[in-house]
A and B are shown apart, each in its own frame.
Chain A
Amino acid sequence: MEIDVQNVTHVYNAGTPFEHTALSNIELKIDSGTFAAMIGATGSGKSTLIQLISGLIVPTSGRIRVGDWEIGPETKDFSELRGRVGVVFQYPEHQLFEETVAKDIAFGPTNLGLSPSKVKERVRHAMEWVGLSEKLASRSPFHLSGGQMRRVAVAGVLAMEPDILVLDEPTAGLDPVGQRELLNRIRDLHQKRRITVILVSHSMEEAARYADQLFVLNRGKKVLEGSPASVFATGEQKLAQWGLEVPEAVQLATRLNERLNPPLANDVLTLEDLEKEIVARWKGDSC
């Protein structure tokens, strides 16, 4: 499903002294099957934007089209959209509530009105996708480790089998291995099931590694969009102004390019890319 955000503005607490414009005049388009990332400093409006896309809040002005659905300031009924867009919130483990892991994961699919046998199957699949062993199904979610709780929460959303999966900083508070593993699983799912993924992150590294399309937000405005390589080509100073840091591998490649002639390819985004480039160059030079 294609997502089309048209001239959207969102104001919190309009008409009170706490009024705050979180987003202004946002225009963006995400094609079906894209792995997109929203990046931006704290308070730049990322969470607000994805809540609008998921139909959890309505815009103050402008329209959002998700597939065949349209959301505007007047929209009231989102029940149709619910099953199609899955949202994993920041610290999703804080929303667990059921007695057992399986029951908690079943909450979403049950709300969709699926039959109990269907629900059971969905739960089993979802646990498999996130890498939770079946033994945990009957355990209380509150007695798991932080990383396991996070997976239960993600499974709860995946069990609804959404066409669009929105993840708000899903790796916050996980250890580096856990971060990698979670995102690798999401990427697998994206590739196998062709779902659209929108990843919110303030790590450029993470965004560059997984996303095909980046959107950079700064103080409620979209300041940049494009492939990771084109976004990094904007330059460190400019990105630093928006509170973002270029990944170390890209920084190193840029420094090397100041001395190398011909320069390295400009699509070096990760440490692995850089390694490949350097090895290729070195081999090329030595023979």
Chain B
Amino acid sequence: MSSLTHPVLGQYIPGDSPLHRMDPRSKLVFIFIFMMIVFLANNAASYGLLLGMTVLGVQLSGISLSIIIRGLKPILYLISLTAVLHLWLTRGGNVLLQWGPITIYEEGVIQAIWISLRFLILVLMGTLLTLTTSPIDLTDGLERLLSPLSRFQVPVHEYALMMSISLRFIPTLWEEMDKIMKAQRARGADFTRGGLLKRAQSYIPVLIPLFISSFRRAEELALAMEARGYRGGEGRTRIRTLQYRKLDVFLLIVLGCLVVALLWLRSPS
């Protein structure tokens, strides 16, 4: 009976690697552009380049691959499922295998490989961002990058605050849920037996206290913020300021080279 303490997908792991030291804004810009240019790749050379970048990123993060993969497990199932769907549904090219109602085409295999590789690269890069950037840095960076939008009446500060509070409380909720589940198990609750409906019902004694404590927490937090004079983003200064360094310039140069290299390597369509 394990408790629910395995690291959540992409939970921040403190460290001092080059990736940790970069400014969250440059990391965010990098990831944003990266996610778009992934779709440029369409042959072995271009996918190889992207995969190489990802592996390099994992290396630089100083976080062991086994931990990253452990966090990714649920996503890996999703990727396998997509791969199977592509194998099964894509038509085109030579027939490689025919077995009952299932026909597998050459095109299907290629699609399945590319799509799962793309998916994997995207998710890996995304996790690298959250593994090496604390939630506070992440939301700070996002707020700063999006701050021009506040001129168009977009409540950027409020959204950023909401995001940082939610990120901050995910582990807390997780712990709370673990605690409540233990308490109800001690009172004889069983979360593993019975059919789907019965199992869902068995979570009621967990979910109700969890909701109540979340509301209580939200209320306390609001009160505490008000008591400390919080009144929105206007004119607010920060104790920690973000600063671009050489490392960030370097990252953006790498990004530029990556775009050029991809455009050059991909097969013309």
Binding site for B on A (CB under 8 A): 12-13, 15-18, 51, 54, 56-58, 75-76, 78-79, 82-83, 85-87, 89, 92, 94-97, 107-108, 110-112, 142, 156-157, 160
Q: Given A57-B1, A95-B209, A97-B208, A87 and B7 touching (CB < 8 A)? A: no
- Cβ contact within 8 Å between B183 and A92: yes
Chain A residues within 8 Å of B70, by CB = 16
- Cβ contact within 8 Å between B209 and A96: yes
- Cβ contact within 8 Å between A97 and B205: yes
Chain B residues within 8 Å of A75, by CB = 1
Binding site for A on B (CB under 8 A): 1, 3, 5-7, 13, 63, 66-67, 70, 179-180, 182-190, 204-205, 208-209, 212-213
Q: Given A16-B7, A78-B1, A97-B204, A111 and B189 touching (CB < 8 A)? A: yes
How far is it, in angstroms, between the C-alpha of A18 and the C-alpha of B187 when the chains are bound? Answer: 29
- Cβ contact within 8 Å between A94 and B180: yes
A-B contact pairs, 26 of them (CB 8 A): A12-B5, A13-B6, A16-B67, A17-B67, A18-B5, A54-B186, A56-B182, A78-B1, A82-B185, A82-B186, A82-B188, A87-B183, A89-B183, A94-B209, A95-B180, A95-B209, A97-B209, A107-B184, A107-B187, A108-B187, A110-B188, A111-B187, A111-B188, A156-B187, A157-B186, A157-B187
Chain A residue, CB-CB nearest to B63:
A17
Partner of B212, one of A13, A16, A142, A160: A142
How far, in Å, is B255 (CB) from chain A's closest CB? 28
- Cβ contact within 8 Å between B204 and A87: no
Chain B residues within 8 Å of A83, by CB = 188
How far is it, in angstroms, between the C-alpha of A97 and the C-alpha of B202 when the chains are bound? Answer: 12
Chain A residues within 8 Å of B179, by CB = 89
Q: How many A-B residue pairs have CB under 8 A?
A: 74
- Cβ contact within 8 Å between A86 and B1: no
Chain A residues within 8 Å of B66, by CB = 15
- Cβ contact within 8 Å between A18 and B185: no
Chain B residue, CB-CB nearest to A90:
B179
Known contacts A58-B1, A78-B1, A112-B188; can you find 9 more A-B pairs with CB under 8 A?
A16-B6, A16-B7, A18-B7, A56-B182, A89-B183, A97-B204, A108-B187, A156-B187, A157-B187
Chain A residues within 8 Å of B209, by CB = 94-97
- Cβ contact within 8 Å between B187 and A160: yes
- Cβ contact within 8 Å between B188 and A56: no
How far is it, in angstroms, between the C-alpha of A184 and the C-alpha of B1 when the chains are bound? Answer: 35
- Cβ contact within 8 Å between A111 and B182: no
How far is it, in angstroms, between the C-alpha of A259 and the C-alpha of B62 when the chains are bound? Answer: 63
How far, in Å, is B46 (CB) from chain A's closest CB? 34
How far, in Å, is A142 (CB) from chain B's closest CB? 7
How far, in Å, is A55 (CB) from chain B's closest CB? 8
Chain A residue, CB-CB nearest to B64:
A17
Chain B residues within 8 Å of A58, by CB = 1
Chain A residues within 8 Å of B13, by CB = 17
- Which of B184, B188, B190 has most chain A Cβ within 10 Å? B188
- Cβ contact within 8 Å between A94 and B213: yes
How far, in Å, is B231 (CB) from chain A's closest CB? 31
Chain B residues within 8 Å of A110, by CB = 188
Chain B residues within 8 Å of A54, by CB = 186
How far is it, in angstroms, between the C-alpha of A15 and the C-alpha of B7 when the chains are bound? Answer: 11
- Cβ contact within 8 Å between A57 and B3: yes
Chain B residues within 8 Å of A85, by CB = 186
Chain A residue, CB-CB nearest to B187:
A108
Chain A residue, CB-CB nearest to B185:
A56
How far, in Å, is B12 (CB) from chain A's closest CB? 10
- Which of A56, A89, A95 has most chain B Cβ within 10 Å? A95
Chain A residue, CB-CB nearest to B204:
A97
Q: Given A16-B7, A87-B183, A94-B213, A160 and B1 touching (CB < 8 A)? A: no
How far is it, in angstroms, between the C-alpha of A57 and the C-alpha of B186 when the chains are bound? Answer: 11
Chain B residues within 8 Å of A111, by CB = 187-190
- Cβ contact within 8 Å between A107 and B205: yes
- Cβ contact within 8 Å between B7 and A13: yes
How far is it, in angstroms, between the C-alpha of A52 and the C-alpha of B260 when the chains are bound? Answer: 58
- Cβ contact within 8 Å between A13 and B186: no
| List of 8 A-B pairs having minimum Cβ-Cβ separation, nearest first | A111-B188, A97-B208, A108-B187, A87-B186, A95-B183, A56-B182, A89-B183, A97-B205
How far, in Å, is B73 (CB) from chain A's closest CB? 13
Chain B residues within 8 Å of A97, by CB = 204-205, 208-209
- Cβ contact within 8 Å between A89 and B182: yes
How far is it, in angstroms, between the C-alpha of A97 and the C-alpha of B63 when the chains are bound? Answer: 41
Chain A residue, CB-CB nearest to B13:
A17
